[in-house]
Amino acid sequence: MKYQTVIGLEIHAELCTESKVFCSCKNGFGFSPNTNCCPVCTGLPGALPVLNSKVYEYAIKAGLSMGSKISKYSVFERKNYFYPDLPKAYQISQLEYPLCIGGHIELELNGVTKIIRLNRIHVEEDAGKLIHSENKGSLIDFNRCSVPLIEMVTEPDLRSAQEAVALLEKIRQILVYLGISTGKMEQGAMRCDVNVSLMPEGSSVYGTRTELKNISSFRSVFAGIEYEVKRQTDILEKGGKVIQETRRWSDEKMQSFAMRNKEESQSYRYFPDPDLLPITVTPEYVQSIMAKLPRLPEQRIKQYVTEYNLPIYDATLIASERETAEYFEDCLALYNKPKEISNFIMSDILRLIKGQNQSLKNIPVNPKKLTDLLKMVSDGKVNVTVAKTVLEEIWKTDEDPEKAVVRMGLMQVNDMAEIEKIVREIIAQNPQAVEEFKAGKSKALAFFVGQIMKATKGKANPQIVNELVIKLINI
Ligand SMILES: [Zn+2]
């Protein structure tokens, strides 16, 4: 029998607020263990949580960007369970009244658009971190306790490992764009639980699902799903039954292992946290957040292609990161030549910034300088090759492009007489190439242009050089 894979994801993303969700401890990555904790986040008796309003603002941004309805009324509940990295023995989360309800993400895969529905987005706190060491036993770092999380729960709309990874990439891009999460999976800022089940092709009744817990890389999500599909197919084909359970994925062994039977929400004995009031969100507040939302990649790509005539490749690349898109748009406001700007951003700016750990916001070649340089190209003051050299120079020196061009003696030579003199010299020195050119070898023209550009240190106007070579050889 042929089976259809059915996948739903529960995606956790850490929000990058300054402080934690219920106390004023610093929220960040890479601090010495147990240096960012207090009585509240370590659950000492009598300590009381206070909601960080930034967390709600960030979560509403996520909800609005994913088409969710923002609840006017939401409630924090205690999810009770014991784990060594959870000193309170409960996690503050949301169950009955989550902040965001519904929503959807559009996926573009192999030229087909697919809508993946969201069930909800709720706010909760992270647990601490257990570090298992061979000689010191297991150690606990409480820094991560009460780091704010949003959990995005999808409907079981995904049908392959490829779709699941594409959805995660899309969500990651949105969160980073909004500036509400670092999206750094290698630092644990995004993790997900993957629910996988199989049903006979053509059926609409879902099979029994298993849940792969806490996976923290795209690669593992992909491998985990592929493995689980194969494992469940083998069971079903042998006439067996898939057991509903939670499984652990091992990257080393590339296998999943049974952890425990899947618990239902009642096992956690959820109840409203008596220390936290229900939250009321007014439509005006939601509106004020909506007004601050940045335009997302999809909208930008559409505009770049339809209004600015950029090729889809350029548009997608420029819009993929918010800083690149904003840099591009700032340039465009100063110089209305989209393709010239995107060419320089893609081939030069992104190359120069690569590996420098710099932000496009504070690179030495700001939009004003880049567009001044591009204007020099269109005014015939430098050619494109020289402009690239100048760009690298002013990246280092922080000069104005025009000053740098003058200082480097690279102003383009447009003087016909001056160029003609050099062209004549080069032609005289290369009789064999002249013969080849006359015999119709197009390579010979490129040779001449190359020689002349070399003799003028790249300063000659290439168009004039081309015309002159053809004219003077054919005399
Ligand atoms: Zn704290």
Domains with residue ranges and CATH for the chain: 3-285 (no CATH), 295-407 (no CATH), 416-473 (1.10.10.410)
Q: What is the whole-number distance in angstroms between the Cα of residue 27 and the centre of ligand 1?
A: 9
Q: Which residues contact 304 (CB under 8 A, 6 or more apart)?
A: 310, 314, 315, 318, 319, 338
Q: Tell how strand 245-250 and strand 210-215 pair up.
A: parallel
pLDDT recorded at residue 10 = 98
Amino acid at 328: F
**3-state class of 438 per DSSP?**
helix
Q: What is the whole-number distance in angstroms between the Cα of residue 372 and the centre of ligand 1?
A: 50
Position 473 pLDDT exceeds 90: no
pLDDT recorded at residue 67 = 97
For residue 433, give Cα distances in angstroms to 135, 439, 460, 468, 474.
75, 10, 21, 15, 13
Confidence of residue 249 (pLDDT cuts 50, 70, 90): very high
Using an 8 Å Cβ cutoff, are 221 and 165 in contact?
yes
pLDDT digits (tens, 9 = 90+) for 351-398: 988 877 778 888 889 999 999 999 999 988 888 888 999 999 999 999
Which alpha helices (H) appear in 5-160, and where do they start and end? 53-65
pLDDT digits (tens, 9 = 90+) for 151-176: 999 999 999 999 999 999 999 999 99
Amino acid at 277: L
Q: What is the whole-number distance in angstroms between the Cα of residue 151 and the centre of ligand 1?
A: 21
Q: What is the whole-number distance in angstroms between the Cα of residue 5 and the centre of ligand 1?
A: 42
**Structure token digits, residue 173:** 């891009």
Amino acid at 94: Q
Beta bridge partners of 151: 12, 122
If residue 247 lies in a helix (H) or strand (E), which one and from where to where? strand 245-250
pLDDT recorded at residue 221 = 97
DSSP string covering 332-395: HHH---HHHHHHHIIIIIHHHHTTTT--GGG-SS-HHHHHHHHHHHHTTSS-HHHHHHHHHHHH
Using an 8 Å Cβ cutoff, are 168 and 176 in contact?
no
Q: What is the whole-number distance in angstroms between the Cα of residue 61 and the centre of ligand 1?
A: 24
Comparing CA positions, the residue from 165, 144, 147 lying closest to residue 217 is: 165
The Cα 463–Cα 457 span in angstroms is 15
**3-state class of 259 per DSSP?**
strand
Q: What is the whole-number distance in angstroms between the Cα of residue 59 and the centre of ligand 1?
A: 20
pLDDT recorded at residue 399 = 92
What's the pTM value of the predicted model, to 2 decimals? 0.85
Q: What is the whole-number distance in angstroms between the Cα of residue 143 and the centre of ligand 1?
A: 8
Average pLDDT, the chain: 93
Higher pLDDT residue, 16 or 413?
Answer: 16
Confidence of residue 134 (pLDDT cuts 50, 70, 90): confident
Position 475 pLDDT exceeds 90: no
Tell me what the mean pLDDT of segment 413-421 comes to: 81
Q: What is the whole-number distance in angstroms between the Cα of residue 19 and the centre of ligand 1?
A: 9
Q: What is the whole-number distance in angstroms between the Cα of residue 191 and the centre of ligand 1?
A: 22
Amino acid at 427: I
Higher pLDDT residue, 265 or 109?
Answer: 109
Q: What is the whole-number distance in angstroms between the Cα of residue 181 and the centre of ligand 1?
A: 20
pLDDT recorded at residue 68 = 98
pLDDT recorded at residue 414 = 77
Q: What is the whole-number distance in angstroms between the Cα of residue 148 and the centre of ligand 1?
A: 12
pLDDT digits (tens, 9 = 90+) for 294-346: 999 999 999 999 999 999 999 999 999 999 999 999 999 999 999 999 999 99
Position 34 pLDDT exceeds 80: yes
Position 468 pLDDT exceeds 80: yes
pLDDT recorded at residue 463 = 81
Tell me what the mean pLDDT of segment 406-412 comes to: 85
Higher pLDDT residue, 465 or 344?
Answer: 344
Tell me what the mean pLDDT of segment 42-62 comes to: 96
Residue 28 buriedness (CB in 10 A; 0-12 / 13-18 / 19+)? middle
Confidence of residue 262 (pLDDT cuts 50, 70, 90): low
Phi, psi of 366 (to 5 degrees): -80, 170
Beta strands per DSSP E along 252-300: 255-261, 271-272, 279-280
pLDDT recorded at residue 88 = 93
